[in-house]
Every structure is written in C-alpha cells, then in structure tokens.
Amino acid sequence: MEVINTIKLPSFLRRTMKAYALKAHIRQLGCDLSRIGRSRNWQLKANFGQLQGIIEFIEQEHEESWIWLAKLLKKEYQYLSHENLLALATRMGNVTVTALISQTDCTLAQARKVLDELEGLD
C-alpha cells in the first residue's frame, strides 16, 4: 500500500503565477488538490511517485513562482522509506551515491544501502 502524504500549501494561489497550469498538471497526475475551507490555504494529497512527478514538472517548466512548491515537496523526502528510495534509484537508472543524495536528501548510509542492493552486493 502506497503511503499518501498530506501537505499544506499556504497561500497557494497568491504565491504562484499560472496556477491554472500547475493545478491542471497536479490533478492530471491523480493527486487530490483542494482548498481548506474558505481560507487561502490549499492541501495536496499525493503518494511518493506523484510528488516526484510534480517536482519534475516544475523543474522542466522553469517557472520562478513554482520553485517554492518544489522545495516544499522535496522536504517530504526525509520521510522516504527504503522501498521508496529503491524505487527512485531504479527509475533513475545508472545512479551514483552523490546523485541519489542530491535528489532525495537521504543520508549517505541510506544511499549506499540502496545502491548495494541494486548492484546485488547486499
């Protein structure tokens, strides 16, 4: 069962330009993006793969007003399980310890364990 992360997005519409495009892509990935009551704050419910898809989209589009969201979502990586790190490293292909650490902010020990398992050394 995939873990669903719930992330609060304070002042989502005020902080992002072209929010319609970002919201459309987030919903296209299957995430639940909704406003919290009548406030200006929003809430995002997504699994790890969806979060990764949102971050990749933001980085490809180079929209300056979306970078805060990518940084916020990357903070969720500190809660990654070993299985999530393994899945990400598999998707990245030929990955190094440094690349895995920079992508996920995991520890050196976690990165080495994942790569050892991928290479069959475990």
Domain ranges within the chain, ordered by starting residue = 5-77, 80-118
Give the confidence band of 43 by pLDDT, cuts at 50, 70, 90: very high
- CA 46 to mean position of chain CA atoms: 9
Give the confidence band of 1 by pLDDT, cuts at 50, 70, 90: very low
Is the pLDDT at 5 greater than 80? The verdict is no
pTM of the model: 0.69
- What CA–CA distances, in Å, run from 33 to 12, 49, 121? 11, 15, 41
CA distance 42 to 14: 11
Give the confidence band of 28 by pLDDT, cuts at 50, 70, 90: very high
Percent share of the chain, pLDDT over 90: 13
Mean pLDDT throughout 89-109?
83
Give the confidence band of 77 by pLDDT, cuts at 50, 70, 90: low
Q: What is the pLDDT of residue 24?
A: 92
Give the confidence band of 3 by pLDDT, cuts at 50, 70, 90: low
